[in-house]
Structure 1
Amino acid sequence: MSSDHTEDSSLPTALHENATNEDIDALVKIVKTQSLVDDVIDGVYMGLLTISLLFILFVTAIGPQLGDLFPILQPVFLLFSHIVPFFKNIPSYVSSAPECFTTLISNLPTTLVEYQSLYYSFAQAFRTYLTILPYKQLILLFSWGAYLWDAYLDVRQRDMLHGVIRPSPIRSIVTRKAFLEANSYGLDKSSLKMVQSLLEQIKTTLVLYYDILPAFWNLVGEFMQSRLGFGPEHEITHSILFFIATSLVNSITSIPFDLYGTFVVEQKHGFNKQTVGLYIADFFKTLALTASFGSLILAGLLYTITKTGENFYLYVMIFMMVIQLIGITIFPTLIQPLFNKFTPLEDGELKTSIENLAARLEFPLKKLYVVDGSKRSGHSNAYMYGFFKNKRIVLYDTLLKQTSIEEVCAILAHELGHWKMNHVIKMLFISQIQIFVIFYLFSLVIVQKKLYTDFGFTSMPIFVGFMLYQYLYQPVDSVVTYYFNKLSRKHEFEADAFSNSLGYHEQLKQGLIKIHLENKGNLNPDSLYSAYHYSHPPLVERLNALDRPATPYHSKSD
């Protein structure tokens, strides 16, 4: 019997779980079992390997005639025929590199006028290039590239989830039963995600390839004209109706996956608390909010673009910043109360401890709420909101059940660390730069008629152009997402260190462990998957960082 069957005596008492060998063996069997999704993955790997070997064989045996025999492979063959000579010529490239570099340096602009001339020449060449791009092929390529990248990361993560032996860094943190339960939960979520992602990608491909978007756009236009009496000159109204119609279609097609995720996966692992009636009510509330608020934002965005000329991206950045600030304000005060009940935290030791913590940090706390998250899920959370001197803290009732008073304070000290170090403001500022880049690049694409005609459009609606542009932006978005998550993880480490400096070292560690275990979070994520997808560092990294020496925090009054 593996030594990993034995529960570690080093585990904190609160984290010990009674589990028989039969329980462990049953969980091991579940985690190690290869599902249909795994069989498909293995089949795809074998298929790709076989195709690659056959291709190499054909190239070797038939050579230049391959493109003539299989016209569909002509682009691939041309690519391959250029790759081989490139690698053969690498030595000559290396030997000539110093001379080329010297020539490049000597030809660089030396004055501001020359730099401006170079910029305008490049910009003009780039705009000319945009007029001849094969947009449909490019968008389909980027769409599948993004999907395959995500699928590759999912497969790497799935391989880790099939592990049944705890890595040594986490053996002192969790029992083997908790580790296996977390992996079982992760595998079920992974299976659902991979199936849904594949079907969504197929749907997207069919919609784009067979020009379903212009057909749907025209259908909405006919409805608008026949029922509302508005002609094609009312583009904003047309776009809003199109947005509502596509949102409705997407919401309906996602229902089977939402139902399975909620009432099968979450139910199986003890998280779901929703009833069917509550699910239906939430569905229609979400749809109504999407249609109403989404339509208002879309109308404002389109109006801003149409009224501010070719430099609209500057005004759109301001508009989106205002929308973000309004969203931060109204979401917890107007929108979330439609789904959850907020009650003031009762007087007692917990309230007193939180108020003392806020006073120590000079945090302008006005209200303390408990939200009934348990009526939908067993997952826990805590957050704060509000501007200036009007701050509020919200605790999920599940968090209060899972952790002690000191651990709740340690977790809130982490959240207050975000406030103290202005992390929200910093991320908000960086997001404005991102919005500027997105809409500046969009300003170059929006005027390209070929973008629309390649997909069967006879007009150039701005909203449709932005929908198509998002596929072109996907490669940039992938890089931006990685760095946003990297910055977010840095902020999480800093907030942990802040809580640590307040003297909550052990309490924060125990609180993080409990929350992670109660939520069955991934305890051994793939490094590349977590780097790309996780906005929070893996648990082990956070615990290791907390063990570093911390400088005690001193308030101004100390």
Structure 2
Amino acid sequence: MKSKLSWQLVRSYEVTSEAFEPHCALLFLITLHWVADVWKIFLFSRQLLLASSTLTVPPKLRERMSSQDYDFARRQSLVSSTATISSATILLLVKTFKLYYGYHFYIWEFTVTQAETKFWRAIFYAVFDMLFSKLIALPFKLLAALMYSNASQMPLAAITIVSVVQIIVATIFTATMIACFMMVIGYFGPRILLYFTPLSNTIAMVLMAIYIQYFVPQRYSTLENEPSVHDSIKRLTTSVGYPSDKVYVNPDFNAAPNAYFIGVLGANMIMISRSLINMLGPQQLTAVVAHELGHWSKDHNIIHLALSVLEVSTVSIGVAYSYDSETLVKIFGFGKDKPQAIITLYMWIAYVSPLISDFLNGVRSVIGRLCEFYADDFACNVGLGSDLKAALLLLASKSTAYPIFDPLFSAWYLGHPTIFERVDRIENH
């Protein structure tokens, strides 16, 4: 009975009023896409301007990073930002054209000549939409590859072949998923959409907790095999009440220098890469572990879990609402030839879900930025601020990524403060 009521609650928000104006709702949706994409273009433009104007190695990195390495990373950042801005602009114009001029209605009408049943029409619809969307962006992708190519990259002909193969694979995958969804919903009923996402995420968390608790100790070594850093890190973990045997070492020498904390359903671990151990001194590495202990001490995993629950709930409700939605049929202008029920879900995933995800990801990133500051504060409070500062600057100098980020850009997209923001905060602690 509960599931029936829950499903009815979600479906009760269908707009049935004759005063409802689908065209106004469509214009509102287009406006939201413009706001979201212009915001994205604005942020990447800030990052592009910063990289364009910062021609020399920042003072705090001059003793650690060569001019050649910095210039290479800067040029890569310029290329990446320019490509993202160009892509976002083109996709925004394509989305606007498709929504405003009734593209989806015409594609659905076209499928009537390709198949007799709505099941197969839905599959053909997905195929035609994917091919059109991908192929229209292909020339711009090739142009970007031609403009920014260098001797180490693939020839343009090879890029073209790879891109075409990727389009074919993506189209086949999408058509297959559409068919599978229709068969699953046909067997279990549409209520499955309300519970599929929460159930799959719950299973994923349980499996992750089991992996951390039982498989990680078998696969990775502990600090007992690292005599150079074992004592200092163990003293730290003991002082804050974290078990030192839950700090593991990834032996893969090819793994990027990194350390991270994961806490799921009471199962905790801190993972340190072998390359990070080789790069940092004992005190610097202990400071990095102190930062990760800050995430554990401040229960940041619970914050991220709450954000995940919010995101999963939003996705679940949105998917359940959009399936066979009369409101969406009107908004997207399908007319009297009502499409197969899965198509309104397809439209939701294509045009509404990304807006929600972009916003929630931005919120998650801003909160993640605050968590990084609090974890740095924890390292400073245990007397390892100067060592953490040295470790951060060394990591920035050794990374092939561009070390400078616009604060607003990093806050919304990266979830981390810039290295220099973190260093300044540590110095002023």
Fold shared, TM-score > 0.5 on shorter chain: yes
Identify if the C-alpha distance between structure 1 residues 185 and 308 changes in structure 2 by more than 3 Å, giving closer, same or farther. Answer: closer
Identify if the C-alpha distance between structure 1 residues 403 and 526 changes in structure 2 by more than 3 Å, giving closer, same or farther. Answer: same
Q: In the alignment, is the contact (CA less than 8 A) between 2:196 and 2:316 conserved in 1?
A: yes
Aligned-partner Cα distance in 2 for 1:373–1:252: 38
Identify if the C-alpha distance between structure 1 residues 518 and 491 changes in structure 2 by more than 3 Å, giving closer, same or farther. Answer: same
Asked if 1:538 corresponds to 2:418, the answer is yes
Aligned-partner Cα distance in 1 for 2:125–2:283: 51
Asked if 1:368 corresponds to 2:245, the answer is no
Distance apart, 1:151 and its partner CA: 1.5
Aligned to 1:133: 22
The Cα offsets for residues 137-185 of structure 1, whole Å up to 9 and x where unpaired, read as: 4444433332222222222222221113679xx5345458366554333
**2:339 counterpart (447, 459, 462):** 459
One-letter amino acid matched to 1:188: V
Q: In the alignment, is the contact (CA less than 8 A) between 1:370 and 1:397 conserved in 2?
A: yes
**1:155 counterpart (23, 35, 45):** 45
Aligned to 1:427: 304
Aligned to 2:290: 413
Distance apart, 1:537 and its partner CA: 0.9
Q: What aligned pairs does 1:358-397 form with structure 2 within 5 A after superposition?
A: 358=237, 360=239, 361-362=242-243, 365=246, 367-373=248-254, 380-385=257-262, 387=264, 391-397=268-274
Question: Which of the two has higher C-alpha Rg?
Answer: 1
Identify if the C-alpha distance between structure 1 residues 387 and 434 changes in structure 2 by more than 3 Å, giving closer, same or farther. Answer: closer
Distance apart, 1:506 and its partner CA: 1.9
One-letter amino acid matched to 2:41: A
Structure 2: where are the runs of 5+ without partners? Answer: 1-8, 214-218
Distance apart, 1:362 and its partner CA: 2.3
Aligned-partner Cα distance in 1 for 2:228–2:428: 28
Aligned to 1:490: 370
Aligned to 2:4: none
Q: In the alignment, is the contact (CA less than 8 A) between 2:198 and 2:316 conserved in 1?
A: no
Q: What aligned pairs does 1:18-37 form with structure 2 within 5 A after superposition?
A: none
Aligned-partner Cα distance in 1 for 2:86–2:274: 33
Identify if the C-alpha distance between structure 1 residues 205 and 373 changes in structure 2 by more than 3 Å, giving closer, same or farther. Answer: farther
Aligned-partner Cα distance in 1 for 2:289–2:230: 13
Aligned to 1:171: 59
Aligned to 1:352: 230
Aligned-partner Cα distance in 2 for 1:463–1:368: 47
Aligned to 1:4: none
Aligned to 1:56: none
One-letter amino acid matched to 1:371: D
**1:325 counterpart (176, 201, 205):** 205
Aligned-partner Cα distance in 1 for 2:207–2:83: 30
Aligned-partner Cα distance in 2 for 1:499–1:304: 54
Aligned-partner Cα distance in 2 for 1:171–1:482: 30
Distance apart, 1:307 and its partner CA: 3.9
Aligned to 1:194: 85
Q: In the alignment, is the contact (CA less than 8 A) between 1:305 and 1:316 conserved in 2?
A: no
Asked if 1:507 corresponds to 2:395, the answer is no
TM-score, scaled relative to structure 1: 0.53
Aligned-partner Cα distance in 2 for 1:300–1:233: 8
Aligned-partner Cα distance in 2 for 1:440–1:126: 16
The Cα offsets for residues 339-391 of structure 1, whole Å up to 9 and x where unpaired, read as: xxx875793335635872555522551753233545xxxx5433344646755
Aligned to 2:34: 144
- Ranked by relative contact order (alpha carbons within 8 Å, sequence separation 6 or more), the top structure is 2
Q: Could you say what secondary structure the match of 1:542 adopts?
A: helix
Q: In the alignment, is the contact (CA less than 8 A) between 1:302 and 1:462 conserved in 2?
A: no
Distance apart, 1:525 and its partner CA: 3.4
Q: In the alignment, is the contact (CA less than 8 A) between 2:193 and 2:319 conserved in 1?
A: no
Q: In the alignment, is the contact (CA less than 8 A) between 1:452 and 1:465 conserved in 2?
A: no
Q: Could you say what secondary structure the match of 1:525 adopts?
A: coil
Distance apart, 1:498 and its partner CA: 1.9
Identify if the C-alpha distance between structure 1 residues 537 and 433 changes in structure 2 by more than 3 Å, giving closer, same or farther. Answer: same
Aligned-partner Cα distance in 2 for 1:382–1:145: 36
Q: In the alignment, is the contact (CA less than 8 A) between 2:249 and 2:273 conserved in 1?
A: no
The Cα offsets for residues 173-202 of structure 1, whole Å up to 9 and x where unpaired, read as: 545836655433321221222233334445
- Alpha-carbon RMSD across the aligned residues, in angstroms, is 5.4
Q: Could you say what secondary structure the match of 2:376 adopts?
A: helix
The Cα offsets for residues 490-517 of structure 1, whole Å up to 9 and x where unpaired, read as: 1111111222233322221111112222
Distance apart, 1:396 and its partner CA: 3.8
Aligned to 1:99: none
Distance apart, 1:542 and its partner CA: 0.9
One-letter amino acid matched to 2:230: T
Q: In the alignment, is the contact (CA less than 8 A) between 1:367 and 1:392 conserved in 2?
A: yes
Q: In the alignment, is the contact (CA less than 8 A) between 2:410 and 2:418 conserved in 1?
A: yes
